Amino acid sequence: MAAAEHSPARDAVARAALDLVEPGMTVGLGSGRAVWALVALIGERDPGAVRAAVASERTGALARETGIEVVALDGQAELDLAIDGADEIDPALGLLKGGGGALLREKIVISAARRFVAIAEERKRVERLGRDFRLPVEVVPFGWQTTRERVLGLVEDALLRERDGEPYLTDEGNLILDCRTHADGDLDELAAELKGTVGVVEHGLFLHEADAVLLGADDGTVTELTRD
C-alpha cells in the first residue's frame, strides 16, 4: 500500500503522538494521513510492543503491514489511549471529523478508550466548526432520500457523497451526506437532533470527546492544547 506524501507539520505531530504510545498499551487508531504516519512510526520503533483497535479497513491494513497486532472491540479489549485526526478543531477542542468516511467506527473506538488525543496540522484550527468543511452525516441506504429530507430540516443543505460517479459507501456499507451547517446554530443542539433523526447512524461532530489536541506546524513544532 502506497505511503502518503510527507508534510512537515504532519510528520511532526505524528512524532509527538508516538511519545504517547507506551510499550504494552492497547491503543485505538483512527483514520487519516496523520494517523497513518503514526502507524509507520510505531512500525519503525517496535510494532510488537503495542496492540491496536482500528477504525478503518485502511488503517487496519497498514497496521498489519507494519507488524502491529490488530484486536477486535469485543467487549474484552480495554483501550488505554485513542489517537485520531480531525478535519477542523475549534477553540473548545470540539472536532469536526469524517472527511475520510470512518466517523462511525472512529466514534466507537474513541468511546472505548480511557483517553482520546486528536492529532492534526495547525491549519485545521477554526473559530467555528463547519466554517470551511461540510459536516458528514452517515445514513443507512434504505430510504436515504427520505432521511435526507429530515436532515434538511436541521442544516442548510445536504449533498450525497460520491466517488467516481457512484455513491460513496463507508466500511459499514452506509452512505454519507455532506452537510452545510447554519452559521449561527447551536452545535450541541444540532448534534443531539441529528443523532435522534430516523435513518441517521452517526454524525461528524465530536464536540466533547477530545482530552487533548496536538497541532503540528510547517516549521516542525507541535502545540498541545488541553481541555479546561
Q: Which residues are catalytic?
A: 106
Which residue matches cell numbers 472512529? 106
DSSP state of 113: B
Buried b (16+ CB within 10 A) or exposed e, 172-203: eebbbbbbebeeeeebeebbebbeebebbbbb
The answer to whether residues 68 and 50 touch, using CB atoms and an 8 Å cutoff, is yes
Buried b (16+ CB within 10 A) or exposed e, 39-56: bbbbbeeebeebbbbbbb
Strand partners, 160: 177
Whole-number Å distance between alpha carbons of 163 and 82: 29
The answer to whether residues 104 and 172 touch, using CB atoms and an 8 Å cutoff, is yes
